[in-house]
Structure 1
Amino acid sequence: MPGTVLLFGHADSADTVNQFLRDLAQGFRDLEQPCLLTMLDGRTPLALDPAVIRQSGSFAVDINAKIDTGDFPKLSLIVDHPVSHPRLLAPGARTVLGLIDREHCRIGDYLRAPAVFIPHGGPPPDVIAASPRDIDVLFVGNLLGEAIPRTPMEARAVEIGRGIALSCTDPFSAVLAEFGRLDPLEIKPLLDLATNESQRLARLAALRSIRAARIHVVGYVPDDLVEQMPDGAILHGFDRSFFQGRDLMHRAKVVINVTQKFPAGSHERIWYGMAAGCAVVTNRSSFLAEDFVHGESILFYDDPRQVGDLVEIALGGDQARAMAAAALPAYEAGHTWTERAERIMVAMIGRT
């Protein structure tokens, strides 16, 4: 009997990551790999079926190492920088980390388990031909409030974030360059502050640069920043469910991604946008550049203030539709959750 992949989500997690697991489970099914997805909560303790444990090739998958599977092998998808998750200091005896940026696999001293590159993925293409595409631009993401440092080191971390916000500089690299190698628990708050501040300012700069477009924003926007949104912007607020943003993608011509913390990886909104038939404007990524060509199948920015100009290019004539169509073959061939399921199978049992 073939092994079974046991996927574990958690009711307390944002539905974004639980949706990853649902789509990843479908990816395993597409490979004809037996799998079982379980959503845990505070009332549902983890229980591993002894019959499954005995099957050769069985293993578990969870998000951010939340589930302790003891000696049972597990791949944990880490959907942020691994330094941001202190629980990874004790990830489990037979855990493999699936990291979403290639450079994260090379941070050596900060990893306590073997690591493989498993970037975010997306669903099968779901382009609705009859969709009205009445939204010019869709931005999905939160705009955080200004960070308040408590110590001189934290103040310096915030300054680092401000200094790299208008570039595609990796916050982790910038923090290391300033502070050197610190203990993981020391570097975590500094990295979080630098990342949040750079992302806050980059997203604000990107949105401010957009002119004369029907734009929808899905995510938290502080009251003091509402007036700085583009004229006529429709603000949907924070979407814990993930489905609102995904549904709006079927109405959008262009999806914007502003997440410079993955310069050698990707973010799920890129893939879900492509799957829905959107053109994508995003910060430059060496991983994305392997399969997508700037100006043909994607639009890369090096400074978030360039986003407005890139949006105008995409909205010119039929460019958004043409760019989305050009991206779809490479996306479908190499960036769905089915492809990520194949990567996981190779990492865990050496084959698909």
Structure 2
Amino acid sequence: MARFLMEFMMTKPRCLLIANFAPLSSIWDMGRGMRTALENADVSVMEYLRSDFPNEGLNRIMVKMIAEFKGPRFVLDINANENYRVPNGSLYDAYRLPRMSFITDSPLRHMAKIQAMPENSILGLVDGDFPDILADFPCPSRCHIPFPHAGPPPEPAPLSNDQRDIPVLFVGNITSAPSQDDFLTRHGGSDRGLRKALSQAVEAARETDAALYALCKAALPGKSPQDWLAATNDLESHLISTRRIALLNSLKQRKIVYCGVIDPSLRTALPGTMEDRGAVTFEDAADLMGRARVLINSSPSFRNGAHERVFYGLSRGASVVTEPSRFLTPAQATALGITPLPFAADRAATAIDHAMARTDDDRHTAQAHYARTHTWTQRMETVLTCLKDQFWTTP
């Protein structure tokens, strides 16, 4: 047995990557980044490409194929997709096949799929506050691990400040969302006490880095986790839309290049001075980041984490201005070339000026720090260590 175990652990691991074909979304590029990091770590990767038209037959063939490998093996997916079943439970558990799912958003956005995960699985959470959510929603996964967003290795020859022809780049969709009054009515009804508590939650979400789920849970005592889920998702949608509109209007005197989908009903709420490139693929957006002096990332979802645009922007040499977060200390943010956005949107120009003042030497220092700390290479090291501890100590 000792010899068999030694041979098992010395065998090159194999991974079935369930990748998502979604060019307008970052999950397509993140999947490619994770695959490259795994292959650089000497993991053999077989890729199943999913989209909105599932191919269950092919998935089952590929699962069976990797399960027949006698060495260390696992499935890596994004957002708990492809939860196929057999008569006695999960397809993956039937093959004793470990699975790691990278949850790219709040778990509340994918809860039904998370609760359908196999027992032999790990959840990777992008925000340090998100484990508190899972405490209220039992799921079968063996454990969850910190798995913050990341990015690719830095570009080897980033453009200098003088070569960058986009002063300020703003990437992110502006979609329809509940108004504050809609939010209060939907979750507080006519109860004055609940409406007041929810109003205070909205105010705290706008002015602090408090976790959104904790705010809604505190405002709705005695309600069910499903009530907290619905309220938090609505609050998040409201914040994203209103925050991005407020920021763009506060910067209407600046030359802003904007990329993203804008809901037609909200277009008149935006300044006509910005250069609207419309919807672009995430890969094209990353190329624009390589030409930008400053990248603005507004994603108030992550109070103890960071959006992937932060790290893809850093990889392309942009100075990043992003939402405040407890994920990075002020010293860490400075080392990475990150400037926090003020909670007050009308003060955003100050943050832009600060980021604009960063020099080419600052960029080289920031990229070196980024390369050591926040690429997919570091994230995959965490995954492989957890798989070894949880599943690969015995064949």
- Inter-partner Cα distance in structure 2 for 1:304 and 1:281: 14
Structure 1 residue 207 displacement after superposition: 1.8
**Residue 35, structure 1, aligned to residue 56, structure 2:** no
* Counterpart among 60, 73, 89 of residue 75 in structure 2: 60
| Larger gyration radius, structure 1 or structure 2 | 2
Cα 1:145/1:166, change in 2 over 3 Å: farther
Contact 1:210 1:309 in 2 (8 A): no
Deviations 1:315-338 (A, max 9, x none): 24xx25454333212210011111
* Counterpart among 169, 173, 176 of residue 145 in structure 1: 176
Contact 1:202 1:304 in 2 (8 A): no
Contact 1:161 1:193 in 2 (8 A): no
* Counterpart among 273, 277, 298 of residue 236 in structure 1: 277
Deviations 1:112-139 (A, max 9, x none): 1311011111011114336831111111
- Inter-partner Cα distance in structure 1 for 2:269 and 2:187: 30
**Residue 338, structure 1, aligned to residue 349, structure 2:** no
* Counterpart among 354, 357, 361 of residue 313 in structure 1: 354
Structure 1 residue 250 displacement after superposition: 1.1
Deviations 1:38-80 (A, max 9, x none): 2035363213354531333200011111122521210000011
- Inter-partner Cα distance in structure 2 for 1:103 and 1:332: 25
* Counterpart among 173, 180, 187 of residue 214 in structure 2: 173
Q: Secondary structure at the match of 1:287?
A: coil
Pairing of 1:189-200 with structure 2 (within 5 A): 189-200=230-241
* 1:101 alignment partner in structure 2: 127
- Inter-partner Cα distance in structure 2 for 1:181 and 1:290: 37
Unmatched 5+ stretches in structure 1: none
* 1:119 alignment partner in structure 2: 148
Deviates more, 1:161-170 or 1:93-102: 161-170
Q: AA paired with 2:66?
A: V
- Inter-partner Cα distance in structure 2 for 1:310 and 1:119: 24
Q: AA paired with 1:141?
A: G
Contact 1:28 1:35 in 2 (8 A): yes
Structure 1 residue 196 displacement after superposition: 0.7
Structure 1 residue 154 displacement after superposition: 6.3
Q: AA paired with 1:328?
A: Q
**Residue 8, structure 1, aligned to residue 23, structure 2:** no
- Inter-partner Cα distance in structure 1 for 2:116 and 2:223: 18
Contact 2:13 2:42 in 1 (8 A): no
**Residue 77, structure 1, aligned to residue 102, structure 2:** yes
Q: Secondary structure at the match of 2:163?
A: coil
Structure 1 residue 199 displacement after superposition: 1.6
- Inter-partner Cα distance in structure 2 for 1:22 and 1:30: 12
Pairing of 1:276-287 with structure 2 (within 5 A): 276-287=316-327
Q: Secondary structure at the match of 2:383?
A: helix
Q: Secondary structure at the match of 1:109?
A: coil
Q: Secondary structure at the match of 1:339?
A: helix
* 2:159 alignment partner in structure 1: 129
- Inter-partner Cα distance in structure 1 for 2:63 and 2:165: 49
Q: AA paired with 1:253?
A: R
Q: Under a length normalisation based on structure 1, what TM-score does the superposition of the two structures give? A: 0.88
Cα 1:154/1:92, change in 2 over 3 Å: farther
Let me know the Cα RMSD of the aligned residues.
Answer: 2.8
Cα 1:38/1:51, change in 2 over 3 Å: closer
Structure 1 residue 187 displacement after superposition: 2.7
Cα 1:309/1:5, change in 2 over 3 Å: same
- Inter-partner Cα distance in structure 2 for 1:161 and 1:236: 34
Contact 2:342 2:351 in 1 (8 A): no
Q: Secondary structure at the match of 1:165?
A: helix
Aligned residues: 349
Deviates more, 1:215-224 or 1:182-191: 182-191
- Inter-partner Cα distance in structure 2 for 1:304 and 1:110: 34
